[in-house]
Amino acid sequence: MKINRIATLLAFSASVLTMAGCKDTLDKIDLASANEELVFQNAELAFLNLSFIYDQNLPGWFGVTGIGLGNENSSRLSEEAQADLKYLQGTIVQNDVTDIGVAINKDNNYGRIRTINTFIRGLERSPIPTQPRNQLKGEALFFRAFRYFDLVRIYGGVPLVLTPLQAVGEEARNEAYVPRNSTTECFNQIVADLDSAIAYLPGRWSGNNNWGRITSGAAAAFKARALLYAASPQFNRSDDATKWQRAFAASQQARTILTANNFRLHASFERLWFDEVGNPEAVLVTGYNNGPGTGTSKNNTYDNGTRPAYTGTGGGSNRPTWDLVKAFPMLDGKKPGESTKYPYNLQLFYKNRDPRFGRTIAYNGANWPLNGNANYKIWTYLRGTTSVEPSGATNTGFYLRKAIDPALGINDARYSGNDWIEIRYAEVLLNLAESACGVGNIAEAYTQLKAIRARAGIEAGSDGNYGLQAGMSRAQMFDAILYERQIELAFEGKRFWDLRRWLKMETLNGKRREGLIITLKTTGVPADFATNRDNLDLDFVYTNYFTLTTANGTPTVRVLDSPASFPKGIDWQSKYYFFALPQQSIDNNPQLIQNNTWGGAFDPLQ
C-alpha cells in the first residue's frame, strides 16, 4: 500500500484490539483520542498513529502546508500567476499571518508538533524493539523538522518545544510560557532532527506498499533545503561562508545517499509526474489515489482544477501569466533576444523555445493531448472582444500544462490521483549547484545546471555549456541558478520562497501581472478558419491571421492586477521578509517577543 493521504481516522476502539497481521495504513489513529499504552504495544499499531502524522503534515499540491501563509498557493505570490492577495498589495498587518497559531488547536503548527512529540514520547516508553522503533522515530523527527522549518522561514526563531507540554493546571500553564529560541538555534534543531532521521531511516523502503514513506535520502534532501535557506541572504546578510559550507556539505550528502539508492533525474521532464511508485525523481512525495465511486478515494483536485473547464469538470485555475511565458529561454538555452541561432520573434513567441516551455505552458494553437485525443489543439484567441473558448476562458491567454494527465477521460479528471512531489531530484541538484556557488565552486554549479538542461532537451552547443554563459562570476552564477529554478520548478511552489530568501521580492514592485491578448484579424481570414484551423500550419496561422501587437510593435496585453487592489502595482514591503507574530499569540504567551522589524526587540537574524 502506498502512503495515501486519506482523512479516514479510526476511533481507537475494541476493533483495534482484534487486528492481526498488517493493517492498511489508510486507516489512521489520532493519538489524542487513543490510549498510549495500547497504541505502542507493537510496531504495527504505532505505525497506524504515525500515518495520522503523515496525513497531518505532508504538503499538498504547490507545497501548501495547510496553515496560514503556508496554505497559500505560492504561485499567486509571484509573477507566475495572478491573485488579489494582501502580501503583494503591501497591506499586511500584524495579525494577518497566523501560522504560529493563536489558540490551542491540533491542526496548527504547534498542535501538530505536540502530536509528533507525544508520538516520540510514546515510542520511547514502548516495548517495541529498537530497530522498528528507531525507524518510526526517524519518520516522526523528520516531520518535527518540517514543521519547525515552516515556522522559521516565516517568522525567524520560534520557541523550540521538544516534549509534549502538560495540558492543565497552573504549573502547566507557566511551563507553557516558552520564549523564542534564536533563529540559529532553530536551524540547529532542525538539522539535529534530520540527522537522526538520516541515521535511522532506510535509503529505500522495500515493497510498493511502502511507497511514500520518508527515506534517509528525503531527510538529507530536506536538510540541504533548510541549510540552503539558512545560507541565503534572508538569513545570512553578511554572506557568512560557514553557512554556505554547511549547505554545500548537506547537498553533497543528499546527492550521495539518493544516488546510492537509485534516485536520479527522470528521463522525461514531461512524464515524471505520471510515474508514481518507484519514480526515480520523487524524493519527497505526498501520495494520492484515484478511485471514482469508491469510499476511500483521495483525489488531488489539481488536474481537475487546472485544465480548461470545457475539457472536463474543472475550472481553468493556475493560469500562467505572460510574465512567466516570456521568461523561458530559447532552444539553445539563451534568453529570448540573446540567442543568435534562434532570434526571438514576438509574433511566433512559442517557436524554438526551451522544450520545457511546451511541456509547461499550453498556448493558443498548441497541440495538447487531452481526454485521450492525441491530436487535440487548444485555442484561446479572441474573435473581436470575445474568446473562442466554449466556456470559462483564460484571462491570461494560457493554461498550465505541467502534470496534467493526458490519459484521463473527460469525466475522470476529477478523480486524478497523481502524487505531489515536494522534493524532486532536480531540486536536489539545483540546491547542490547553489550551495556550491556559495562556497566558490563554480565548476560544480556548472555541472549541475548542465545536467538539468540536458534532461530538458536544450541543445548542448559547440561549447557544451547548454546555453550557459562561460566564465561566470559567483554573482552571475547565483543569478543563473535562480533563473534555472524559475523555469525548471515553475508552478511547483518554489518561486515565491526563492525570491523571498534572496531578498528579491522588491524586483516585482511597481509592476502588474499581465496576460497576452491574441486576436483573430477581421480581414484576410478564410471563412472556414474555425473548422479547419487544426489542420493548418501554426506558424502560417500566427503570421497571417493573428494580431499580437499594437501599432508600435509592443505586445497587446491584459493587465490582470486591478488598479483598485494594486494602486502602486505590486508593493512588497521589506518587513515581510520576517512576518510579525500575531498579537493574540503574544497575549497567550507573554514570553514571546515581537520581531524588531515590527516594533519589537527580537532579532530574527541571530
**The three-state (H, E, C) secondary structure of 249-269, written as one string:** HHHHHHHHHHHHCCCCCCCCC
User: Which pLDDT does position 216 carry in this prediction?
Assistant: 98
Mean pLDDT in residue range 518-541: 97
Phi, psi of 287 (to 5 degrees): -85, 140
Which among 382, 373, 370, 397 is positioned nearest to 310, based on CA atoms? 370
Res. 192: pLDDT tops 80: yes
Mean pLDDT in residue range 323-339: 98
- List, for residues 72-93, the tens digit of each pLDDT value: 999 999 999 999 999 999 999 9
- List, for residues 121-179, the tens digit of each pLDDT value: 999 999 999 999 999 999 999 999 999 999 999 999 999 999 998 765 566 667 778 99
Res. 13: pLDDT tops 80: no
User: Which pLDDT does position 15 carry in this prediction?
Assistant: 32
Question: Which residue carries 502595482 as its cell?
Answer: 569
- List, for residues 550-604, the tens digit of each pLDDT value: 999 999 999 999 999 999 999 999 999 999 999 999 999 999 999 999 999 999 9
Mean pLDDT in residue range 203-232: 96
Residue 61 burial by Cβ neighbours in a 10 Å radius (0-12, 13-18, 19+): buried
Phi, psi of 363 (to 5 degrees): -115, 165
Cell of 226: 533548510
**Domain locations in the chain?**
54-286
User: Which pLDDT does position 175 carry in this prediction?
Assistant: 72
Res. 468: pLDDT tops 50: yes
CA distances from 230 to 60, 64, 191, 412, 506 (A): 24, 21, 11, 43, 20
Mean pLDDT in residue range 316-338: 97
Residue 274: Cβ within 10 Å count: 16
50 CB-near residues (< 8 Å, 6+ apart): 119, 136, 139, 140
Q: What share of the chain in percent tops pLDDT 70?
A: 92
Distance CA 24, CA 459 (A): 47
Which one has a higher pLDDT value, 186 or 290? Answer: 186
CA distances from 487 to 300, 454, 455, 573, 597 (A): 23, 14, 13, 25, 32
Q: Is residue 198 within 8 Å of 220, Cβ to Cβ?
A: yes
Q: Is residue 141 within 8 Å of 162, Cβ to Cβ?
A: no
Cell of 534: 487544426
- pTM (two decimals): 0.93
User: Which pLDDT does position 37 carry in this prediction?
Assistant: 76
Distance CA 480, CA 472 (A): 9
Band (417; pLDDT cuts 50, 70, 90): confident
Q: Which CATH architecture has domain 54-286?
A: Alpha Horseshoe (1.25)
User: Which pLDDT does position 259 carry in this prediction?
Assistant: 98
Cell of 460: 548542448
Mean pLDDT in residue range 332-346: 97
Phi, psi of 4 (to 5 degrees): -85, 150
Q: Is residue 352 within 8 Å of 388, Cβ to Cβ?
A: no
142 CB-near residues (< 8 Å, 6+ apart): 193, 194, 197, 201, 214, 218, 219, 222
